[in-house]
Amino acid sequence: MQELDALIEALTEKRYYVSDTLISNELAHALKDEAQTRFHIGDFQEAKVGRQLTKRLDERIRGDLTSWIEGDMANHSLALQQYLKFLDNLKDQLNPIFYLGIRSYEGHFACYDEGAFYRKHVDQHRGRGLRRLSVILYLSDMSNDDGGEVVIYHHQKQDVEVTRIRPKLGRLLIFLSEDLPHEVLPAYKARLSLTGWLRA
């Protein structure tokens, strides 16, 4: 698979990969519809920072809303089942190459409303090396004036900006969870995504 080779090369050399073709347009639209449905029925909550007992709201750090993916596979929508199977297949392909030891997935739908952002951070909690790969599927089309880009910084020179990734419906961003500081710039219109982590 040509794109798998490109993904492996990019993760090795740059620590991140962006694809507009791994996820079909049909699946992206179905997941967007699910995110919008969850939003309209009030399933999104204010996102917190920290973990376990130290979780807290802090709008100075992040202002997004999240709807976590929970429960058995059989209870998910067909679109979400298809996406999770894609990630499971990705896990099986990458584990033998990078020795990541990935066993599971955790994730949530995310909504960045107008003005929402997420300050620079690393996805892996300090002292807990369970998150191996971060995977973001964008469910909104954003123009250059709409904001909401992800800024990726150098893994060693953390003040050096490496790239900016504009949200586009169906665009997939994959990167190493421990290595890359990143932030979400303020959105100037609602921005939806499906964000998650392949975990050991």
For residue 61, the model assigns a pLDDT of 75
- Per-residue b/e over 11-42, b at no fewer than 16 CB within 10 Å? beebbbbbeeebbeeebbebbbebbeebbeee
Give residue 88's pLDDT: 97
pTM of the shown model = 0.92
Identify the pLDDT of residue 18: 98
2-44+79-199 architecture in CATH? Answer: Sandwich (2.60)
Residue entry with tokens 């507009």: 20
Q: Are 197 and 135 in contact (CB under 8 A)?
A: yes
> Which portions of the chain are predicted below pLDDT 50?
none
pLDDT at 73: 82
Res 118: pLDDT: 92
Token output for 102: 């990935």
Domain residue limits, the chain: 2-44+79-199
CA 10/CA 15 separation, integer angstroms: 6
Nearest one of 182, 142, 192 to 161, comparing CA atoms: 182
